[in-house]
Amino acid sequence: MKRAVFLDRDGVINLDRAYVHRWEDFEFVPRALEAAARLSTAGWTVVVVTNQSGLARGYFTEEDYQALSRRKVETFAAHGAPIPTVYPHHPSSRVAALAMDCDCSKPTPGMLLHATREHGLSPAESIMIGDKPSDIAAARAAGVGRAYLVASDNERSPTGGADEEAVGADGAFASLADYVDHLLAHGG
């Protein structure tokens, strides 16, 4: 089984600008593409898992979301960080066709478990990087070995004011790139 680094989207790999769904509004967090490429080169499978409440609220369409995701996947690949797919979920849907009860929306583990099954990943040997306590909770529920918080561009601290121990994080870093620097230098 392969090991993975699960990445939340908004606030971790792109600047969190509330319901980003057009490529021209999508802006990567500084050094995020480089960090993902370094993970890939080091043998990690990079997987994006993202709640997409804007889709659920009808702020944009599934086609809008898929077009953005294709561009994102292409950009990751062009920078040396192929991602197998992006796993989205649309919690609390107001859009009738998307309304359903399931275990996918973080903090539940469904997206992570689906990705592990689909790509032969070992949860215990994998890592989750997120900017919210719900990311950490989803990782714990999926049996992911380690889970870290990074600072969203909307927050001053990596924990967003939350106590990292209280949310079950193994640590907190200023950015994805800072965590990758740590991981590759120290193995954890």
pLDDT tens across 83-103, in order? 987 766 554 444 444 444 455
pLDDT band at 128 (very low <50, low <70, confident <90, very high): very high
CATH number at residue 157: 3.40.50.1000
Question: Among 8, 16, 131, 135, which one carries the catalytic annotation?
Answer: 8
Which residues are CB-neighbours of 20 under 8 A, at least 6 positions away? 10, 14, 26, 54, 68
When pLDDT is cut at 50, 70 and 90, the band that residue 73 belongs to is very high
Q: Which tens digits make up the pLDDT trace of 157-182? A: 555 555 566 578 999 999 999 999 99
Examine the residue annotation and report whether 163 is marked as an active-site residue of this protein: no
Domain containing 171: what range?
4-186
Q: Quick check: 102 and 149 in contact, CB under 8 A? A: no
User: Residue 165's pLDDT is what?
Assistant: 63
- Kindly report, residue by residue over 48-72, the tens digit of the pLDDT: 998 877 777 778 888 888 898 899 9
User: Is 178 a catalytic site residue?
Assistant: no
Q: Assign 72 to helix, strand or coil.
A: helix
> How many domains would you assign to the chain?
1
